[in-house]
Homo-oligomer: A and B are copies of this chain.
Amino acid sequence: MKTGFIGLGNMGAPMARNLLKAGHALNVFDLNAQAVQSLVDAGAKAAASPKLAATDVECVITMLPAAAHVREVLAGKDGVLAGIAKGVTIIDSSTIDPQSAKAFAALAAEHGNPFVDAPVSGGTGGAAAGTLTFMVGGSAAAFEAVRPVLSAMGKNLVHCGDTGTGQVAKICNNLLLGITMAGVAEAMSLGAALGIDTGVLAGIINTSTGRCWSSDTYNPFPGVIETAPASRGYTGGFGTDLMLKDLGLATDAARSAHQPVYLGALAQQLYQTMSSRGEGRLDFSSIIKLYRTGEDA
């Protein structure tokens, strides 16, 4: 399938690479020439604009930092909609707000193009391994149409419902993730302060009702899980500033829906504090630093 791919960052580059490996032909565009060259070396064709990347393809994928970039890439001068043929599906894998996703779908529909929002989970590791989860919002037909392309980049494709619901799924999951991670940080720090061995405590939690991914797979207490960022100084992983972005999307969406998110709003302020301390690039499990004040503050 001939595909236009726009946005070759930490996530987009390995995703595009997996499309090439699966035999898809690729037109790529990015503002970063080095990122483009690296994909060209792997067999892609460089395009001089989103418009040209979207010309003469069967599918277009965008993977960008925020809604403003997607808008520019789609509808700006020399944008995707200026080059794309009618009927070709646009897949936006950026994590953005559901309302923008709906607006972009409407815009695409005006040009005769199906649009799906398809944000991912799985991180840079999953992007490289081709094991991402795609949460897809759009019609059942569009979901079926993009399945061959998405399955080259991920192993778990979920049809969430109409346009925007892919984004809804993503931000609701990450809202909960931001809360559970801070919750585990509280529980582990409290236990440590009260004198229990943190390995024993994690063991009990992980086989009990407090069990969660943030504890059993990604425990924020140093030394509890050897492979977690907590055991390597909170390097790598999912950055605090990225969690902060997603919590911003969640609280914004909650605001528009008049829906209270007490714990989410508080968790957002806690990650904000880490960011304001200059630690926004550390893995988000470093939130535990706020609780271990005797240790490092």
Contacts and interface: CB of A to CB of B under 8 A. Distances in A.
- When all copies of this chain in the complex are counted, the total is 4
By secondary structure, the A interface counts as: helix
Contacts of A251: 251, 265
A272 B197 CA distance: 23
A179 B180 contact: yes
Pick the most buried of A264, A276, A290: most chain B CB atoms within 10 A of its CB.
Answer: A276
Given A169-B201, A169-B204, A177-B210, A183 B269 contact: no
Interface string A279-297: 0100000000011011001
Contacts of A180: 179-180, 183, 210, 212
Given A209-B177, A260-B291, A172 B197 contact: no
A168 B187 contact: no
Interface of A: 98, 121, 133, 135, 156, 158, 160-162, 164-165, 168-169, 171-177, 179-180, 182-184, 186-191, 193-197, 200-201, 203-205, 207-215, 218, 248, 250-251, 253-255, 257-270, 272-273, 275-278, 280, 290-291, 293-294, 297
